């Protein structure tokens, strides 16, 4: 029988100088917003924090999808199915996430999507979002249904790349006034949204009697009572209204949008915009190869594959899944971006790998806004850029152009 020799770990009495480093406490962060944001390590964390900071009806408006929310769920399910395949032997420790968008430098392949009524998320609204985007070096898109005017938003983001999202109005004089104001304020591009012939049915908004200014039902009053900070900020800043339209006009009235908006968009409308705007025209809301081709034929400078974050046609195609089909026919003729469901740097890497020039984010920056105003939006952009950079390092892709289809596989489940 063999006996094994037992090794013995030498022991000693604990000494103060060895214990000391373990007993040091971190300095307490006194600023509540900074403390809140520091705890958020992902967009999902920010979503959880954001939800607690706004009345329920505001949360439902921002978070919700249309009808049965199939498109909204499928957007995420598609990103969850992504497998990222490394080429680790080509890795670099510090990949470059910078790119060009519409031919101009962007610090990252990210654009802030247009969102209506942004000041509901936080009283600093569009100003804060545009300023954070400018600071981060990425474009910001102001919605036609913004709660801050075209000029005031641009003034809050000096040096920023601002785009204006147009909803064509039946009365083209109103749209021409928007274009003139955007031109005057130095906006770089127009984004024409084409997937809103009518507004999607968001059931919770209907149940909540959601409106601007908020309707005071028992349900909304209860929600407001639980958020005195949000209410106080809204009541002590400029009134909530559709700020791209003249005050008091029927355009500025809630519930009028479907009637006043052009409901029969045709390729000729893209030609019309190109005639009246001497910068790029991006078309957003593409959900089929045919529409993509028609837009390119009509002179669109870039496309956004989008199902509006699952807020319009329920069961619309998932942009991530549609992308390869569209690129097959559109090729490199125009830049193609996508949105709907992007929540992490890994998601962005997947979209780039499948051929997108960049991604738009909607809800993620609104969550940042709810959680911490401008600093919250900056935190979202920092997180996404950091995640993208780490994903690229681990993938073995030194720059965004080197992320390719070989790095992305859509798993069956």
Contact footprint for ligand FMN (CB under 6 A): 62, 113-116, 143, 145, 165, 193, 284, 306, 308-309, 311, 339-342, 360-364, 366
**Minimum CB distance to ligand FMN, residue 297 (Å):** 22
In angstroms and rounded to an integer, the radius of gyration of the C-alpha atoms of the chain is 24
Nearest-approach distance from CB 285 to ligand FMN, in angstroms: 7
Residue with the CB atom nearest ligand FMN in the bound state: 362
Cβ at position 258, least distance to ligand FMN in Å: 13
Q: Which is nearer to ligand FMN, 327 or 360 (CB)?
A: 360
From CA 138, how far away is CA 346, in angstroms rounded?
Answer: 18
Q: Return the number of the residue (95 or 346) whose C-beta is nearest ligand FMN.
A: 346
Q: Which is nearer to ligand FMN, 95 or 182 (CB)?
A: 182
Closest to ligand FMN by CB, 300 vs 402, is 300
> In the complex, what is the shortest distance from the CB of residue 366 to ligand FMN, in angstroms, rounded to a whole number?
6
Catalytic residue among 122, 178, 308, 407: 308
**Between 96 and 262, whose beta carbon lies closer to ligand FMN?**
262
Q: Closest approach of Cβ 24 to ligand FMN, in Å?
A: 40
Report the residue number, 286 or 392, with the smaller CB distance to ligand FMN: 286
Residue 407 bears catalytic tag: no
Structure tokens at 75: 């957007």
Report the residue number, 106 or 402, with the smaller CB distance to ligand FMN.
106
3-state per-residue secondary structure call for the chain: CCCCCCCCCCCCCCCHHHHHHHHCCCCCCCCHHHHHHHCCCCHHHHHHHHHCCCCHHHHHHHHCCCCCCHHHHHHHHHHHCEEECCCHHHCCCCCECCEEECCEEECCCEEECCCCCHHHCCCCHHHHHHHHHHHHCCCEEECCCCCCCHHHHHHHCCCCCEEEEECCECCHHHHHHHHHHHHHCCCCEEEEECCCCCCCCCHHHHHHCCCCCCCCCHHHHHHHHCCHHHHHHHHCCCCCCCCCCCCCCHHHCCCCHHHHECCCCCHHHHHHHHHHCCCCEEEEEECCHHHHHHHHHCCCCEEEECCCCCCCCCCCCCHHHHHHHHHHHHCCCCEEEECCCCCCHHHHHHHHHCCCCEEEECHHHHHHHHHHHHHHHHHHHHHHHHHHHHHHHHHCCCEHHHCCHHHEEECCC
Instruction: Tell me the C-alpha distance between 54 and 220, whole Å.
Output: 11
Least distance CB 299 / ligand FMN (angstroms) = 19
Closest to ligand FMN by CB, 116 vs 279, is 116
Nearest to 106 by CA among 385, 332, 343: 385
- Between CA 413 and CA 402 the distance in angstroms is 27
**Least distance in Å: CB of 27 to ligand FMN?**
35
CB of residue 58 vs ligand FMN: minimum separation in angstroms? 9
Cβ neighbors of 95 (< 8 A, separation 6 or more) are: 389, 392, 393, 397, 398, 399
Q: What residues are labeled active site?
A: 308
């Amino acid at each position: 029988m063999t006996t094994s020799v037992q090794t013995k770990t030498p022991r000693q009495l604990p000494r103060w100088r060895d214990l000391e480093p373990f007993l040091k406490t971190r300095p307490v962060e006194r600023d509540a917003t900074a403390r809140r944001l520091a705890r958020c390590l992902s967009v999902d964390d920010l979503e959880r924090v954001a939800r607690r900071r706004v009345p329920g009806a505001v949360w439902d408006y921002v978070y919700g999808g249309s009808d049965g929310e199939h498109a909204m769920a499928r957007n995420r399910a598609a990103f969850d199915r992504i497998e990222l395949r490394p080429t680790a032997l080509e890795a670099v420790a510090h990949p470059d996430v910078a790119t060009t968008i519409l031919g101009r430098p962007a610090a990252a392949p990210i654009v802030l999507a247009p969102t209506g009524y942004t000041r509901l998320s936080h009283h600093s609204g569009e100003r804060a979002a545009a300023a954070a985007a400018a600071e981060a070096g990425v474009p910001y898109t102001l919605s036609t249904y913004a709660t801050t005017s075209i000029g005031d938003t641009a003034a809050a983001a000096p040096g920023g790349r601002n785009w204006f999202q147009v909803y064509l109005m039946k009365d083209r004089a109103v749209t021409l006034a928007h274009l003139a104001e955007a031109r005057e304020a130095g906006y770089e591009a127009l984004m024409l949204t084409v997937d809103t012939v009518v507004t999607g049915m968001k059931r919770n908004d209907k149940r909540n009697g959601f409106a601007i200014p908020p309707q005071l039902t028992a349900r909304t009053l209860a929600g407001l009572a639980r958020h005195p900070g949000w209410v106080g900020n809204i009541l002590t800043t400029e009134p909530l209204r559709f700020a791209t339209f003249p005050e008091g006009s029927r355009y500025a009235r809630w519930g009028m949008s479907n009637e006043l908006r052009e409901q029969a968009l045709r390729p000729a409308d893209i030609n019309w915009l190109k005639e009246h705007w001497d910068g790029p025209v991006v078309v957003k809301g593409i959900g089929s190869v045919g529409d993509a081709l028609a837009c390119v034929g009509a002179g669109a400078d870039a496309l956004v594959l989008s199902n509006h974050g699952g807020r319009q046609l329920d069961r619309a195609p998932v942009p991530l899944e549609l992308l390869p089909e569209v690129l097959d026919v559109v090729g490199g003729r125009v830049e193609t971006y996508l949105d709907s469901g992007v929540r992490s740097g890994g998601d962005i890497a997947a979209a780039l790998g499948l051929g997108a020039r960049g991604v738009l984010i909607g809800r993620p920056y609104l969550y940042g806004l709810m959680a911490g105003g401008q600093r919250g939006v900056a935190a979202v952009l920092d997180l996404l850029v950091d995640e993208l950079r780490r994903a690229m390092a681990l993938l073995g892709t030194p720059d965004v152009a080197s992320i390719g289809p070989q790095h992305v596989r859509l798993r069956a489940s």
